[in-house]
Amino acid sequence: MTSPLLSVSDLRVSFQTDAGVARAVDGVSFTVSAGETVGIVGESGCGKTLTALSLLRLIPSGGKLAPSSRVEFEGADMLSIPERELRAVRGRRMAMIFQEPMTALNPVLTVGDQVAEVVRVHTKRSRSEAWALAVAMLARVGIPDAAARAAQYPHELSGGMRQRVMIAMALVLEPALVIADEPTTALDVTIQAQILELLRELRERIGMAVLLITHDLGVVAEMASRVLVMYAGEVVEEAPVESLFAQPIHPYTEGLLAAVPSLALASQTTQERLRTIPGTVPPPTAWPSGCRFRDRCEHAWERCATDAPALVQVQPAHRVRCHLVQEPERRRT
């Protein structure tokens, strides 16, 4: 078996806050192989984005990585390589599409220059070659009249266009892995379909892997082959996309699926229920004892309050963190 492109093991990120230590990412492990699309889903505050940022060592200030955390990408130890080597990987081999284009784009450079800059920093291409590549990529992400738009500044473009510029910057060098954090949320459905198609094309043509972070289970169903469900800083379920959608086991996964009309109808276990999960994700300074989902779980019993469930394998590629795996008779129907 070939080794995975990306291997994350026991990733832990914490912050010291006035309210105590926030364990925002708490022991996350997963792999991504070349050409694979893996989805990470969960509500805001579950640790998805911070997990993604950690892979590129872009943890917000004050964040602390536990020494046990490991992130290996193409054989490099991402958490300990020197900054210079890290910069060579970022943007070239592993790129990220950020959620907020306005904060990630430079307001005083034209968008064409910003895409061309990625090319210039990482390759030996001339200024004109880099510009031509930038314009071609801007056209591929659906920017009409790309040559003219390339000469404009971020504030002259709409939010959706800026998002496409960010996507062009991430994809222009055809990286081995792109981390896409809610990549299409700000885009209308036609452009969204075009971006997803571009990601698929790069996956097929160059074997690009995609780590797709989203709350949109429809996009996950369409794009991903494997899904990680995160709750309160932990992975609570991991499965191939078909198994997860047809037979979710964790009550949180069931809740997420039941909240999406088209998916609720497709799912066998959530058929007649269309609802939202009661309550909200607790703050990371106050994860409950035992199972972190217990305050919101309709199946919870005494054991769930005292005993933290481990992530256990239920099928070769299906892992679940819930006591119902050992005590299925506790499930309330």
Contacting residues toward ligand SF4, per CB under 6 A: 250-251, 291, 293-294, 297, 299-300, 304, 309, 322-324
Residue with token string 């990529």? 137
Is the CB of 226 or the CB of 299 nearer to ligand SF4?
299
**Residue 304 CB, nearest approach to ligand SF4 (Å):** 3
Is the CB of 73 or the CB of 293 nearer to ligand SF4?
293
**Residue 97 CB, nearest approach to ligand SF4 (Å):** 32
**Residue 117 CB, nearest approach to ligand SF4 (Å):** 47
Is the CB of 19 or the CB of 305 nearer to ligand SF4?
305
Is the CB of 98 or the CB of 231 nearer to ligand SF4?
231
As a whole number of angstroms, the distance between CA 77 and CA 125 comes to 28
**Residue 146 CB, nearest approach to ligand SF4 (Å):** 48
Residue type, 140: R
For 28-37, give one letter per residue: b (16+ CB within 10 A) or e.
Answer: bbbebbbbbb
Could you tell me the two tokens for 100?
């907020």
As a whole number of angstroms, the distance between CA 173 and CA 201 comes to 14
Is the CB of 60 or the CB of 278 nearer to ligand SF4?
278
Cα-based distances in Å from 195 to 67, 168, 224: 37, 10, 14
**Residue 305 CB, nearest approach to ligand SF4 (Å):** 8
Strand 177-181, strand 94-97: pairing: parallel
Q: How many CB atoms lie within 10 A of CB 183?
A: 28
